[in-house]
Amino acid sequence: MALPKLDTPKYQLTLPSTGEKIDYRPFLVKEQKILMMAQESEDENMIMRGMSDLVSSCTFDKLDASKLPVFDIEYVFLKIRSKSVGESVDLNLICPDDGVTTVTKKVNIGDIEIQISKDHTNEIVLASDVKMYMNYPMMSDITAFDGDDETNKTFKLICRCFKELHYKDEIYHKIDVKDEDIISFMDQLDTEQFMEVTKFFETMPKLRHIVEVENPKTKVKSEVLLEGLQSFLG
């Protein structure tokens, strides 16, 4: 006789990039095993694929993780994790005042949200008559350059996220431009202009949370800024 199938609870979240309401469920043991195997492999691409597959499955295939911005996937994954293994996580944090002492803090996952820098925009003004517009990187964009040095990664990521360029009265769309042409254009920029491009990535939405810690040795209280999914996995 076959054993019964258990009912799985259903929850709802709001997708940061669109405001869309999405139903989700906790991950199952079989899915957790796949994710743990990926983490044990220490292969970043395998971990990202495992996370993406889990997000798609646990949202009842309503979300195609391969087409979501990275910050959406991280946020959804964190919400799924909170309903799967607990609403809080113990984090080992280094006290900023001495840079050595470690303390353990319990953080409520429900308090962690996607935050956007006030000066963030996808419109990059390079000159009075030159503007570049960017798309947010997807998971496939982040994992596509394994083995490349940081400089190559930066330029390839810019190519992937390039949406369009407005130059005087002309508009150049991504679909009509080759990657080598984008790189050639970027090579013409001065340092200040290039910093405006990289600022898009540095200020784009991400998981952020501030935790107050007290150094047990010095009794000094400090704030620790946590950013990105990896900071909240414990």
pLDDT tens-digit profile of 113-124? Answer: 999 888 999 999
Q: What DSSP element (H or E) covers 225?
A: strand 221-227
Same domain, yes or no: 63 and 11: yes
In a domain, 41, yes or no: yes
- Is the residue at 2 inside a domain? no
C-beta neighbour count of 204 within 10 angstroms:
19
The reply to whether 81 and 13 lie within a common domain is: yes
> Is the domain of 128 the same as that of 197?
yes
Q: Is residue 1 part of a domain?
A: no
**For 8-53, how does the pLDDT look when each residue is reduced to its tens digit (9 = 90+)?**
899 999 999 999 999 999 988 888 887 787 777 767 777 777 888 8
Number of domains the chain contains: 3
Task: Kindly compute the dihedral angle of the four CA atoms of residues 109, 224, 52, 58, in this order, to the nearest 10 degrees.
Answer: 0
| Within a domain: 73 | yes
- pLDDT tens-digit series, residues 59-90: 999 998 888 998 999 999 999 999 998 889 89
The answer to whether residue 174 is domain-embedded is: yes
Residues 134 and 181 in one domain: yes
pLDDT digits (tens, 9 = 90+) for 161-211: 999 999 999 999 999 999 999 999 999 999 999 999 999 999 999 999 999
Q: In this predicted model, which residue has the larger pLDDT, 132 or 87?
A: 132
> Cβ-count burial of 58 within 10 angstroms (0-12 exposed, 13-18 middle, 19+ buried)?
buried
Residue 195, helix vs strand vs coil: helix
| One domain, residues 185 and 168 | yes
As a dihedral over the C-alpha atoms of residue 127, residue 131, residue 136, residue 139, rounded to 10 degrees, the angle is -80
| Domain membership flag for residue 31 | yes
Q: Which domain holds residue 225?
A: 87-114+205-234
- Among 89-98, 138-147, 169-178, which is the least confidently predicted range? 138-147
Kindly state whether residues 40 and 50 are assigned to the same domain.
yes
- E strand or H helix that includes residue 137: none
Same domain, 175 and 129: yes
99 sits in the region (left: phi over 0; alpha: psi -120 to 50; else beta) called left
Query: Could you tell me the pTM of the whole model?
Result: 0.84
Residues 6+ apart with CB under 8 A from 132: 123, 124, 126, 162, 163, 164, 165, 166, 197
| Dist. CA 76–CA 91, nearest whole Å | 20
